[in-house]
């Protein structure tokens, strides 16, 4: 009895392994590659990514709206070129994506126009008490 079920079990395992690999390969081939169309592709200059502690450069970037959707080689960026994608040749100029003013208070501009600016330089001109008094007296 022992000799009957061992060959059966081994052959079943062998056949199971053969069929599962073919199924996985067929699934991998069947999945389509999805690429997002870019609004703009920038290339032809020094593109500093600001990733990491040391400068990192890329050949090109692709954007969609206000988002960067690809950073890397020019060839890879061109895979996102469809229809009306605008190609921007930087002509050797630098591009620093992601730079924004990190500390700005828009309401402060209007407020400063209505009140005395008693801030010291460089934000104001009041470096002494006399400067503060002069700013207040002009209101």
Tell me the whole-structure pTM to 2 decimals: 0.50
Q: What is the CATH number of the domain that holds 83?
A: 2.30.40.10
Number of domains in the chain: 3
Average pLDDT of the chain, as a whole number: 79
Check whether 22 has a pLDDT greater than 90.
Answer: no
Spatial contact of 77 and 31, defined as CB atoms under 8 Å apart = no
Domain hosting residue 90, numbered range: 40-95
What residue spans of the chain are helical by DSSP H? Answer: 2-30, 74-78, 106-114, 129-137
State the pLDDT at residue 95: 92
Question: CB count, 10 Å around CB of 77?
Answer: 25
* Bridging pattern class, strands 86-89 and 94-95: unpaired
**Is residue 100 domain-resident?**
no
């Amino acid at each position: 009895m022992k000799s009957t079920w061992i060959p059966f079990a081994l052959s079943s395992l062998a056949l199971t392994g053969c069929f599962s690999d073919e199924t996985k390969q067929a699934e991998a081939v069947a999945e389509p590659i999805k690429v997002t169309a870019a609004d703009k592709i920038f290339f032809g200059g020094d593109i500093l990514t600001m990733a990491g502690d040391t400068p990192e450069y890329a050949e090109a970037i692709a954007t969609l709206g206000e988002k960067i959707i690809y950073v890397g080689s020019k060839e890879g960026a061109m895979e996102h070129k469809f229809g009306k994608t605008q190609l921007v040749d930087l002509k050797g100029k630098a591009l620093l994506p992601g730079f924004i003013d990190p500390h700005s208070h828009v309401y402060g501009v209007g407020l400063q126009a209505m009140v005395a600016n008693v801030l010291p330089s460089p934000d104001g001109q009041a470096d002494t008490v006399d400067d503060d008094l002069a700013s207040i007296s002009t209101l």
